[in-house]
Amino acid sequence: MRCEQLTGSLSDAADGSVLLDGPSRAHVEHCLRCQAELAQYRKLLRALRALRTEVLAPAPGLLPDILLHLEQAGERRAIRSILTGRRVAYLGGIAAATAAGAAGAIVLASRSRRRMPLAG
């Protein structure tokens, strides 16, 4: 048995979800590296369990402050999207007016060419 073969099973063995077979157990009993890795997994699991049971009470006024900031951020985003929409509409209006002006100029130019007598 080699350490690399046990790497995946040591984390499962640390939390008790998997029992090591005979050769794996014998390897861990004689291998300091695997013993250290198993000890690290167990230490990590204990720390995670301690975090799960530890409850921190928020500071007074923290929740209303968070909600206020979220509301303000939402309002700023809504205003920004409205202004962006107006800006797009404004630019679209300018483009349409420019196109209409250009079309009008073309019509006027073609009419004035028809009315002009040919010199000859």
Evaluate whether residue 73 is within a structural domain.
Answer: no
48, 24 in Cβ contact below 8 A?
no
Please give the tally of structural domains in the chain.
2
- Domain holding 44, by residue range, is 3-53
The per-residue pLDDT for 116 is 53
Conformation bin of residue 54: beta by default, left when phi > 0, alpha when psi is -120 to 50: beta
In this prediction, residue 112 carries a pLDDT of 61
Give the pLDDT of the chain (120 residues) as one tens digit per residue: 788 888 778 888 888 878 888 888 888 888 899 889 889 988 988 888 887 776 677 788 888 888 888 888 877 777 677 666 666 666 777 777 787 777 777 776 666 665 555 554
